[in-house]
Chain A
């Protein structure tokens, strides 16, 4: 089983970045430039409109925005870390298991999971366990689990069996084969899954506002409900910039952690 991203139905973008070549590629600078341009444009737009009205002023002030940004990043990162802590060991255990049925079942579940709408998951969880931060985290974790789990399994499965046979033939113990050979070689694929999970987290965290978990979704909702386009745009642009920046940072980490010879 090779990781052929293009044939991999279950995910839209869990493939290792293909940034090779030098450090100074357009992609490395493209995202920050885009973010700066978007935020700069937003600020220009807001200031050129003059004083916000009373309703707008509720949201369009630095204290409130920074608090929402902080909430949003916190919940996204926290869930992503929980996801990594659960999904990577789980993926390893599943790929150790001799039976192919187990990983087939997991991958099948992953596909159904992919088809489950995030907003459905989060609202069903809220109806069952109550609203609030913990429920939101649970939804984010459930949603982010699949890409990391799947990529851990495929990342290990795609390794050329000759390489692991050579390792065993040289007398490496199973754990040595895992830690010295398999995991380092699977890192790019696992990280790509983590990156997807991170982007999912930011997106699902936006929806988490429906169950009172705060974050920038709240800004969007305020803008919508009170029909203040400026507020709505601010929330949407800022949260998009966070998603882009986190994705970009994860991409950098991916490049830095990729084993050199690969």
Chain B
């Protein structure tokens, strides 16, 4: 499975029943995840989202149903071989405190029997990928790193053997808001380059919108309430439940997903120009800061309250009141 980015993951009627518990933790969960896709599982705590994810690398064994990666039933594979081909990042990170950063990142390549030289090169490559200078960090121990740095090492460790699939369980949940924003932005960048198939569990809907290609909103027993792109979920929540999960300001959240491109109108404007690649949320902020007057767009044209409203299909001047 190595040296290939992304794999298809198919879950079919997957259930998990714990002995001595009346209700299943996960019931008849079915989902197909495309190669290179980042799917967010969102739901309240206890809804079974983590259980669902952990069945993919068999940290939790499914009670029934089938899980296939690239068409191969994972229940027929040796579970340790399977796990060596799935990157795994958890909220508590679980770095090995008695190993250096380099040794931590080298664990799976070592298990896979790579040569020493190859491992050394790979470790350096991975640390650079997560923006940690190998010459500085390789020989440090986890406790000498900040929480954000530890989490980056966690990601580097999960990616080190170039697995086609990554499982991430609230990886940024334990960091402070500013660090989280940075890690999310870096991770977005990273995923754009590596294109893994990622199952990402979170209870933070904002995070799901920001990072996900598709979002599955889950309720009890891991029931899928809606499984769609962030924009579609924001625009058309399938149920009250989903709507309540989105919470206030769905329109503003959607704006953050749309590019300035989609709302450029012709005309002139004065004020600081904004880039076409920015999102409309930033554009709206600029307009508001410009006392409600349209602002110019780099490369020609402008955006105004009206053009943004037209792009969104809602009168934005009434938002936030």
Contacts and interface: CB of A to CB of B under 8 A. Distances in A.
- Touching in the complex, A and B, CB below 8 A? yes
Contacts of B111: 170-172, 176
B97 A168 contact: no
Most chain A Cβ neighbours within 10 Å, of B80, B82, B97, B100: B97
B4 interface: no
A170 to B, nearest CB: 5
Contacts of B88: 166, 169-170
Contacts of B167: 169
A163 interface: yes
B48 interface: no
A121 interface: no
Interface string B70-113: 00000000011111111010101111111110000001100100
Contacts of A170: 83-84, 88, 107-108, 111, 157
Contacts of A184: 98
A176 to B, nearest CB: 7
Interface stretch (A87-95, A134-142, A218-226, A254-262): A254-262
B97 A166 contact: no
B92 A261 contact: no
Interface residue range, chain A: 20 to 34
Interface in B55-79: 57, 59, 79
A70 interface: no
Interface string A169-191: 11111001000110011000000
Interface in A128-167: 160, 162-163, 165-167
A190 B21 CA distance: 37
Contacts of B93: 162, 166
A40 B17 CA distance: 71
B97 A259 contact: yes
B252 to A, nearest CB: 36
A180 B59 CA distance: 19
A168 B83 contact: yes
Given A170-B111, A261-B143, A162 B97 contact: no
Name, among B98, B108, B167, the residue most crowded by chain A CB atoms within 10 Å (CB to CB).
Answer: B98
Given A170-B107, A170-B108, A262 B98 contact: yes
A176 B99 CA distance: 14
A185 B157 CA distance: 19
Nearest to B59: A169
B6 interface: no
B98 A185 contact: yes
B142 interface: yes
B83 A169 contact: yes
B108 A162 contact: no
A259 B81 CA distance: 28
Given A185-B97, A261-B141, A165 B59 contact: yes
13 contacts: A162-B94, A166-B90, A168-B59, A168-B83, A171-B111, A184-B98, A185-B97, A185-B98, A260-B100, A260-B141, A261-B96, A261-B141, A262-B97
> What are the 10 A-B residue pairs with the smallest beta carbon separation, nearest first?
A166-B94, A261-B141, A259-B98, A171-B84, A171-B83, A169-B88, A162-B92, A162-B94, A171-B80, A261-B97
Interface of A: 160, 162-163, 165-173, 176, 180-181, 184-185, 259-262
Interface of B: 57, 59, 79-86, 88, 90, 92-100, 107-108, 111, 141-143, 157, 167
Given A162-B90, A172-B107, A261-B99, 4 more contacts: A171-B80, A171-B111, A172-B80, A261-B97
